[in-house]
Amino acid sequence: MERPDGEHHWPRSYPFCGGAFQSPIDFQTQLLRYDPSLPPIQVQNYNLSAHEQLTLSNNGHSVKLSLPPHMYISSLPHRYSAAQLHFHWGSSNLLTGSEHTVNGKQFAAEMHVVHFNSEKYPNISMALDKHDGLAVLGVLIEIGEFNPAFDKFFKYINGIRYKDQKIQVPSFDIRQLLPAALNEYYRYDGSLTTPPCYPSVLWTVFRNPVTISHKQFLALATALYATNAQDSAPMPLHGNYRKPQLTDSRVVLVSFNDGLHGIFSVTSPAERRRVVQKLLMGDLADLADDGLHQLLPKLNPQAGANNKWKNTKTHGLHNQATQHQQWPKVPSDTVHISSIGKNLPRHGSKEICFESLEKKVLHQLQRYNAKGQTVEALRDVVFPELNLRSYLECKSELDLQTVRQLVQGRSKDEAAELEQSLTKAMLRHMRRQIKLNGHPNQKSIIGHPRAKSVKDFSWGSAYPKPQQVEWED
């Protein structure tokens, strides 16, 4: 029986866990877009001195190794400084525990090296809920040869068998934990894979996995407990991975195109800007003539597109360790507010603060006794903005909901013209998909429907900063 703190129930306490742009995802070939401008990942100061000490800990959810902020990634638009690394894995009799998968293939484990945007935010706590706050390097792990780099701290793992135990270990060259080649990777916009699931992560998942020996894997899968040492019923810590999430009209940029047939290249930024400018100020009839259908997501059937958390009976049938993890809840009366809804920050303007959006939506829905709509309302607010930002940076498709939001404020005649053009474009593609596949995938055609949210919100002002919650990614 699934406990109420399992993955399926996360959205009840953490609405973003049921929202948009969630991670992990399955890297399906039809989602990939080759971007020749993606540079090799460059990391700085990863070769730490053995005189430094790192903290190795068991937080009840994972093994975590602290990292100093003078380690950073230098090949991203901002400087992202290191904070920590941690792992997700399977169990001793289930050698599948990675969070990201490749065409459905799940690896034995996955390592996440977490960085925060140190150019804009003073620490990781401040960056956690900002749309550009985090960058995570994902390393897929498979069973194979013994890996001496991982043994630098795996050999100390018996010192943190129980939750909240921590020890100091000597530093080493963290670069040795990464694949030899850092020029082949998947890139997309996503979220923390643990509560509160803020969609604040720029993901870089390396194409080539690293190996650890079966003995090293068992050190993770069998030696650790998710409970404290004094607990009378110790619970093993294993299977701590989240299942793949909906792609939400995103595509995945890749820095490689060898060995992949039928992979598309990204649309040029200039063309995307032209389309958006026409939506904002141009003639919608001309845009329809140019091919409005190019704005909508590709109509490839997406695995799991109909498995949204609230409608899936089997969603909760995941690993026991995830079901029993205890996640501290954000106090409902201690969160500050920023503008959303009609005052949603536009691309290139002020930052999106997911924590503030959550409180603002919840505060308003409580006035209308509609707390159960929190997830849908947040998704309704956040999805268009994230989708537009990602679209302009050639990382996603432009969802229909986002197209509609772009023309808000236009005349009613133009809005009606847009609806007619979109309807015609959708019908053409529905007929084409029916002809090709037999059954249209409505989710991929029309995007996510507008939530039934309260109109004419009257937003308040600031609330105190919330207490910290514990998180992984």
Which positions are catalytic? 61
Nearest partner of 442 among 246, 310, 302, 245, judged by Cα: 302
Which residues, in sequence order, are CB contacts of 233 under 8 Å at separation 6+? 227
Q: Which helix (H) or strand (E) holds 130?
A: none
Which residues share a beta bridge with 138? 112, 205
Q: Could you tell me if 389 and 239 are in contact, meaning their C-beta atoms sit under 8 angstroms apart?
A: no
What does DSSP say about strands 134-143 and 210-212: parallel, antiparallel, or unpaired? parallel
What does DSSP say about strands 109-117 and 201-206: parallel, antiparallel, or unpaired? unpaired
Distances (CA, A) of 390 to 188, 313, 394, 470: 9, 31, 6, 27
> Where does residue 331 rank: exposed (0-12), middle (13-18), buried (19+ CB within 10 A)?
exposed
Q: Could you tell me if 357 and 382 are in contact, meaning their C-beta atoms sit under 8 angstroms apart?
A: yes
Q: Could you tell me if 391 and 408 are in contact, meaning their C-beta atoms sit under 8 angstroms apart?
A: no
Residues 366, 217: Cα–Cα separation, whole Å: 47
Which residues, in sequence order, are CB contacts of 39 under 8 Å at separation 6+? 75, 255
Amino acid identity for residue 67 in this structure: L
Q: Could you tell me if 450 and 366 are in contact, meaning their C-beta atoms sit under 8 angstroms apart?
A: no
Evaluated on CA atoms 57, 59, 61, 64, the torsion sign reads negative
What is the SS3 assignment for 218?
helix
CB under 8 Å, gap of 24 or more: what pairs does 36-40 form? 36/265, 38/185, 38/187, 38/253, 38/254, 38/255, 39/75, 39/255, 40/75, 40/182, 40/183, 40/255
Residues 242, 99: Cα–Cα separation, whole Å: 6
